[in-house]
Amino acid sequence: MAEKHFKSAGNLEKAKFPGQPRRVFLHTDMDAFFVSVERLLDPSLRKKPVIVTGGPSRRGVVSSASYEAREKGVRSAMPLVRALRLCPEATIIPGNFAAYARYSNLVMEILHEYTPFVEQAGIDEAYLDLTGCRLLFGNPAEVARRIRQRIREELGLPSSAGLSSAMIVSKVASALAKPNGFIEVPPGAEASFLAPLPVDALPGVGPSCRLILAEMGIRKIGELALLPPEALEAVLGSWGRTLHEYSRGIDRRRIESSEMPGSVSREMTFESDTFEYEFLRSVLLLLCDKCCAALRKGALASRRVSVKVRYSDFDTRIKSRTLPCPTDREQNIYPVALELLERLLTRGVRVRLLGVNLSALVPYSAQYELFPRTSPSGDPEKIDRLNRSLDLIRKRFGFEAIMRAGALNSARGEKTRKPPVPEPKMPNDRCQAAAM
Amino acid sequence: MKVSCEKEKLNNLIQTALRAVSARVTMPILSGVLLSAQNNTLSVCGTDLELTIKASSEARVEKEGSAVASGKLIGEIVKNLPEGDIQIESEEKTLTISSDPGVFSIKIMSPEDFPAVPDWEGEEAFTVSAREFQTAVSQTSRASSNDDKRPVLTGSLVEKNAKDGKIRIVATDSYRLAWKEFEATGNVAAWEDCIIPTKSLVEVARIASGHEADIQARIHERQAMFKVENSTVRSRLIEGQFPQYRQLVPKGEKIVVRGVKGDLVAAIKRALILGHNLRLSIGDGSLTIRAETPDIGESSETISVEVQGGEMEVGFNGFYLVDGISAVEGEEVEIGLDDPQKPGIIKAPDDQSYTYILMPMRLR
């Protein structure tokens, strides 16, 4: 029985912000998603150690490993050679990403039946704001149970979930609940739930950030929470302040309704920090491409482009530009984004993250033009036809089925999603601690 | 240099010249205005190298000479001085501005560094009444583009029709196009068709506002020159090919909608509250304007119009539509439509001098 509940002290039940409903966030995450899909397609793989290798550019790397393989020490992002040394009996499957994208869409469809406030955070995970759902569907924990049950019964896929008042806490909880589990952190117990966990259980804390914190003598989230926020800000920049809030279970992020989001953004943290311009340019194109595909999917157009760069010292800078007219074409967005990137890259410090954000969204509408354009981006009618065709191909075969040549270079550098926190032994005193 | 001038007059000169001074300059000297006193005339000149404005007026010149001082400073000082005579005197390193109670001394820059000031040179071309020119610029300038990526479209084509002695100003941002033709006198044939930055034309129109005088225009050394009374404007031209616009004009529209300008503009402005992609349904004697923004709301309004030709549903950007219709002179407006994917044409009935061509939007 993997369902776990943390009891909270009753006096902490009071809302922190009187007058506002306390928010309830669910984070759902598929268990070994790629492997689970492969097992649906080929049931003979069940109960066997299975390793799915990476996309077109990551043939030699583990993308997803079944829990049987994980028991032997195999982890995501591990070189295949090493994984096979640890688990020689594993079945190796080259990733069938179109199938994963298809199943991902089916999962998201189920989630959208419960609330429009769904934020997809990856191919296999999403946040849901269930705050307003109590009247419609009842107790959020019950909704979570029902969602996981439907994903299991209708699609045959296992998933885990975390439920709390903050997105960050729900995310950590769902990772901790894996495999096939559910953790609810009641209001008021967020900080005590996080406190005993290692700092890198927090999303956003990767090896280099962990190293910086270790040098300060900080290994547990609870230790992080005790630091003055200024100290973290001094070392990690503005991200330090956010991280400090996270460590105390505070997360100011909200989920915009997916029906009319305020902005569309995509970002990539690199395998290793870089200042290789060609690579960054390629990643930028990929991100613009992905953002615009998302815009077109929602029949939206954007009038504001922002580019975010996070340097290896966590200094984060953003530059934005307003466009003369709204667009959903990467052919129009990318040149602007590139100019912004060039203006951002002034520090001569390696970059660890690059992001693109499109805001000032308006419903898409096509303004016909009087004269066919002779500009480098070409005839807009043709571009729209091209983009619509790309969207159709990607809908059937997955995003990576067809790529802009300029974006191919980007594929080598993305950091694989952090492997889930190792399945912890759940000693009873953890529950006690959380209840304090 | 030592000169004195009435406050109001001096303030006008400086404010006019400042229209050409950019807030962010590439060279420090361009933040200055050049004052020169000669032959009982004081002239003030500002430039951003693309547009140069020289404004002159009579003044009591005690000592001829010139000086360059910060345009922003001198503008602020003169604007805030009380009515009455203001005396300006330049010394080696300072410019002293004094009126009865106060004295301001500001640093000056070297007049030799200031770019060449336009003289009224070149062959005489056309002359037009200030009112006529202003109307033409206000009717066309809104269709011009602000997109620096397509420089040609940030300008207006000023072309001659020597046979009829007419000048036409054409502006477009590639979504809409407006032109206005007006009668000109003088040697119209000497005008060379060119693309003038729309911003420059707007400045000329602004300087001419309130004047009953004529505007003289000519081209000299690939620069457009305009003269309004005592002010001279010189503008660089935009190099490049203006779009071949004549082929856009629909040859006889299928549907013609005729309505009252004020009613149409008011209805469109109301619709714009709930979205700027308007859906126009043309029926028998009526026009229905609908706007919709998902999650916000929708609106629908039907007004009675005269319709010839049939029914059609077409989408337009409401802002562009308002720009085109409100620029029509007179009470009545005619909208010609051919196809929901082909340009519509807006003009006054029985008047070919102003024409506004607008591309529709794709409807969903």
User: Is the Cβ pair A260, B174 closer than 8 Å?
Assistant: no
Q: Is the pLDDT of residue A411 over 70?
A: no
A373 touches chain B (CB under 8 A): yes
Band (B29; pLDDT cuts 50, 70, 90): very high
Q: Is the pLDDT of residue A5 over 70?
A: no
Which residues on A lie below 8 Å from B341 (Cβ)?
Answer: 368
Please compute the mean of the pLDDT values over residues B69-77 and round it to a whole number. Answer: 95
Q: What is the ipTM of this complex?
A: 0.81
Cα distances (Å, whole numbers) of residue B181 to B144, B152, B161, B174, B196:
16, 20, 9, 20, 16
Q: Is the pLDDT of residue A375 over 80?
A: no
User: Is the Cβ pair A259, B295 closer than 8 Å?
Assistant: yes
Say whether A330 is catalytic: no
**Closest chain A residue by Cα to residue B359:** A368
**Closest chain B residue by Cα to residue A371:** B174
Share the mean pLDDT of chain B: 92
Chains A and B form CB pairs within 8 A to the count of 52
Cα distances (Å, whole numbers) of residue B317 to A214, B154, B322:
58, 20, 9
Counting Cα atoms < 13 Å in the Cβ hemisphere of A373 gives 19
Could you identify the residue written with the tokens 């270790």?
A214
Distance from CA of A134 to the nearest CA of B (A): 22
A262 touches chain B (CB under 8 A): no
The pLDDT of residue A98: 79
Summarize pLDDT for A333-344 with one digit per residue, the tens: 999 999 999 999
Whole-angstrom Cα distance, residue B30 to residue A199? 56
Among A258, A322, A368, A383, pick the best mutation site for testing chain B contact (most B Cβ within 10 A).
A368
User: Is the Cβ pair B361, A324 closer than 8 Å?
Assistant: no
Summarize pLDDT for A165-188 with one digit per residue, the tens: 999 999 999 999 988 999 999 999
Q: Any bridge partners for residue A182, and if so which?
A: A3, A161
Among A327, A328, A334, A371, pick the best mutation site for testing chain B contact (most B Cβ within 10 A).
A371
The pLDDT of residue B275: 86
Task: Report the residue from A260, A373, A375 with minimal CB separation from B294.
Answer: A260
Is the omega angle on the peptide bond into residue A179 within 30 degrees of 0, that is, cis?
Answer: yes
User: Is the Cβ pair B361, A259 closer than 8 Å?
Assistant: no
**Closest chain A residue by Cα to residue B149:** A375
A371 touches chain B (CB under 8 A): yes
Per-residue three-class SS string for chain A: CCEEECCCCHHHHCCCCCCCCCCCEEEEEECCHHHHHHHHHCHHHCCCCEEEECCCCCCCEEEEECHHHHHCCCCCCCEHHHHHHHCCCCEEEECCHHHHHHHHHHHHHHHHCCCCCEEEEECCEEEEECHHHHHHHCCHHHHHHHHHHHHHHHHCCCEEEEEECCHHHHHHHHHHHCCCCEEECCCCCHHHHHCCCEHHHCCCCCHHHHHHHHHCCCCEHHHHHHCCHHHHHHHHCHHHHHHHHHHCCCCCCCCCCCCCCCEEEEEEEEEEEECCHHHHHHHHHHHHHHHHHHHHHCCEEEEEEEEEEEECCCCEEEEEEEEEEEECCHHHHHHHHHHHHHHHCCCCCCEEEEEEEEEEEEECCEECCCCCCCCCCCCHHHHHHHHHHHHHHHHHHCHHHCCCHHHHHHHHCECCCCCCCCCCCCCHHHHHHHHC
The pLDDT of residue B331: 93
Specify whether the backbone of A387 is left (phi greater than 0), alpha (psi in -120 to 50) or beta.
Answer: alpha
Would you call A184 exposed, middle or buried from its count of C-beta atoms within 10 A (0-12, 13-18, 19+)?
Answer: buried
Which residues on B lie below 8 Å from A373 (Cβ)?
Answer: 174
The pLDDT of residue A425: 38
Q: Is the pLDDT of residue A26 over 50?
A: yes
Which residues on B lie below 8 Å from A327 (Cβ)?
Answer: none
Band (A368; pLDDT cuts 50, 70, 90): confident
**Closest chain B residue by Cα to residue A362:** B293
Would you call A211 exposed, middle or buried from its count of C-beta atoms within 10 A (0-12, 13-18, 19+)?
Answer: exposed
Q: Is the pLDDT of residue B28 over 80?
A: yes
Band (A412; pLDDT cuts 50, 70, 90): low
Which residues on A lie below 8 Å from B149 (Cβ)?
Answer: 375
Please compute the mean of the pLDDT values over residues A298-307 and round it to a whole number. Answer: 89
Whole-angstrom Cα distance, residue A388 to residue A90? 40
Share the mean pLDDT of chain A: 82
Summarize pLDDT for B226-258 with one digit per residue, the tens: 999 889 999 999 999 999 998 888 777 789 999
Q: Any bridge partners for residue B220, and if so which?
A: B223
A381 touches chain B (CB under 8 A): no
The pLDDT of residue B247: 86
User: Is the Cβ pair A260, B361 closer than 8 Å?
Assistant: no
Task: Report the residue from A257, A370, A375 with minimal CB separation from B150.
Answer: A375
Q: Is the pLDDT of residue A259 over 60?
A: no
A375 touches chain B (CB under 8 A): yes
**Closest chain A residue by Cα to residue B358:** A370
Give chain A's domains with CATH numbers.
33-96 (3.40.1170.60), 193-247 (1.10.150.20), 263-412 (3.30.1490.100)
User: Is the Cβ pair A371, B315 closer than 8 Å?
Assistant: no
Whole-angstrom Cα distance, residue A6 to residue A203? 21
Provide the CA B55 distance to its chain's centre, in angstroms: 18
The pLDDT of residue A12: 37
Summarize pLDDT for B314-350 with one digit per residue, the tens: 999 999 999 999 999 999 999 999 988 889 999 999 8
What part of A 309-368 touches B (C-beta under 8 Å)? 324, 363, 365-368
Among B144, B157, B172, B175, pick the best mutation site for testing chain A contact (most A Cβ within 10 A).
B175
Give chain B's domains with CATH numbers.
2-113 (3.10.150.10), 126-245 (3.10.150.10), 251-358 (3.10.150.10)
User: Is the Cβ pair B243, A371 closer than 8 Å?
Assistant: yes
As given in the structure block, the two tokens for residue B76 are 């602020």
User: Is the Cβ pair B147, A324 closer than 8 Å?
Assistant: yes
The pLDDT of residue A195: 93
Task: Report the residue from A259, A299, A370 with minimal CB separation from B175.
Answer: A370
The pLDDT of residue A429: 36
Task: Report the residue from A260, A365, A370 with minimal CB separation from B359.
Answer: A370
Task: Report the residue from B147, B245, B294 with minimal CB separation from A363.
Answer: B294
User: Is the Cβ pair B174, A299 closer than 8 Å?
Assistant: no
Task: Report the residue from B176, B244, B295 with minimal CB separation from A260.
Answer: B295
A369 touches chain B (CB under 8 A): yes
pLDDT > 70 fraction of chain B, expressed in percent and rounded: 99
**Closest chain B residue by Cα to residue A372:** B174
Pairing label, strands B94-98, A316-327 = unpaired
Which residues on A lie below 8 Å from B275 (Cβ)?
Answer: 363
Task: Report the residue from A260, A299, A369 with minimal CB separation from B174.
Answer: A369
Catalytic residue selected from A38, A125, A330, A400? A125
Which residues on A lie below 8 Å from B245 (Cβ)?
Answer: 370
A392 touches chain B (CB under 8 A): no
A259 touches chain B (CB under 8 A): yes
The pLDDT of residue A432: 34
Higher pLDDT, A372 or B219: B219
Please compute the mean of the pLDDT values over residues A96-120 and round it to a whole number. Answer: 86
The pLDDT of residue A21: 65
User: Is the Cβ pair B145, A324 closer than 8 Å?
Assistant: yes
Specify whether the backbone of A85 is left (phi greater than 0), alpha (psi in -120 to 50) or beta.
Answer: alpha
